[in-house]
Amino acid sequence: MKKRPKSSARRQPRTPAKKAKSTKGLKTVFTAKQIQKRVKSLAEQINRDYRGKTLHVVGILENCFLFMADLVRELKIPVACHFIKAEVHDTSTGGVAVREIMYTPPVKAAGKDILLVDGILQSGVTLDHLCRYMLGQNASSVRTATLIEKTDERKVDVGHGLCGLQDDGGIPCRLRVRLSGEIPEPALRRLHGLSTRGRDSAGV
């Protein structure tokens, strides 16, 4: 009997299975169903309020994109999406340190209905500044939409904005999403033991 020729193909080493990330120390604040329900409710209100119009949705990076993506998917009206990001420049004038915060790229707001979107509303300084900036460009209307309002950190009244959920715990919120089954469900969780400071420097 003839011997079968040995295969020249090498066996690939097995890739060790990834261990699920620990969620120890995390507490669910808002479940996925709660978030989805509120996003749909906000979208229904926006559809009613802007019926027959084109809405220009301006997302403020980094926190906006998950909430903005879910919100825009639920909209039935014509939508144009834009993104802006804060750029911080430290300069000195006459020996005095000056910090300048700019939002780029610029959005041409004249004659448009603008919806400013952010994931978390903290002090309100950023949204108030951007509302005034858009109105200064003669926008037809300017409104805000945020997923979470941290009521205990508010410094500026933004006005008639849309808000999905409220948190007054004074502990930072982080949006967790499903990644390869590592997290059982997407939910907004509160991470214990961290400082609540840090974003006010950018005027959130």
Domain boundaries, the chain: 26-195
Strand partners, 79: 55
pLDDT band at 190 (very low <50, low <70, confident <90, very high): very low
Prediction pTM value: 0.67
Domain 26-195 has CATH 3.40.190.10: no
What are 131-179's pLDDT values in tens digits?
888 999 999 999 999 998 877 776 777 766 888 887 776 445 444 333 2
Read off the tokens for 21: 């990330």
Residue position matching structure tokens 């420097």? 201
pLDDT at 4: 60
* CA distance from start to end of the chain: 80
What are 95-119's pLDDT values in tens digits?
888 777 777 888 899 999 999 999 8
How far apart are alpha carbons 24 and 15 in whole angstroms?
Answer: 26
Strand partners, 162: 145
What are 67-106's pLDDT values in tens digits?
999 999 999 999 999 999 888 777 887 788 877 777 788 8
pLDDT at 77: 96
Instruction: Fill in the DSSP letter of residue 152.
Output: G
pLDDT at 22: 59
Looking at the chain, the whole-number percentage of residues with pLDDT higher than 90 is 31
What type of residue sits at position 66?
A: L
